Amino acid sequence: MLIPLAYGLAVVLDLFVVFIGLRFFFQPQAAAAGYGVPAKQDGDPAYLTVKGLRDLVSGLLGLALLAFSNAEAAAWFMLVISLTPLGDTVIVLRNGGTKAAAFGIHAATAAVVLLSAVLLFAV
């Protein structure tokens, strides 16, 4: 029961990050608003593209580890990658985003990613 839960949560999280990355490419303004720090209407194309690429690559790397490696390697990845949503929490707070977005989206995501790491370490 633990193995499908551990891998299932990790796959869902990685696919979600891929989706977010792609959204920054195809709907950048909406994605930035959902992130918690809206982009300027007439600017910030580099920020939006970098954010999208970072998320897309992170999600694909997580999926590759799940497919071609073992649970321990995937667990270490999830543990380390949890720093990204923790950093996003700080970025949102420092750049005028709401506490609800910072903690409700990013800190909560970090907690779920850490839970995924714990589950993967346990299998």
Per DSSP, 69 falls in state S
- pTM, two decimals, is 0.93
Q: Distance (Å, rounded) from C-alpha 112 to C-alpha 98?
A: 20
- Compute the average pLDDT of residues 96-103: 96
Please tell me the predicted confidence (pLDDT) of residue 46: 87
Q: What is the mean pLDDT of the chain?
A: 96
Query: Cβ distance 61 to 70 under 8 Å?
Result: no
Domain that holds residue 48: 2-122
Question: In which band, very low, low, confident or very high, does the pLDDT at 61 lie, cut at 50, 70 and 90?
Answer: very high
The yes-or-no verdict on residue 55 having pLDDT over 80 is yes
The count of structural domains within the chain is 1
The residue type found at 112 is V
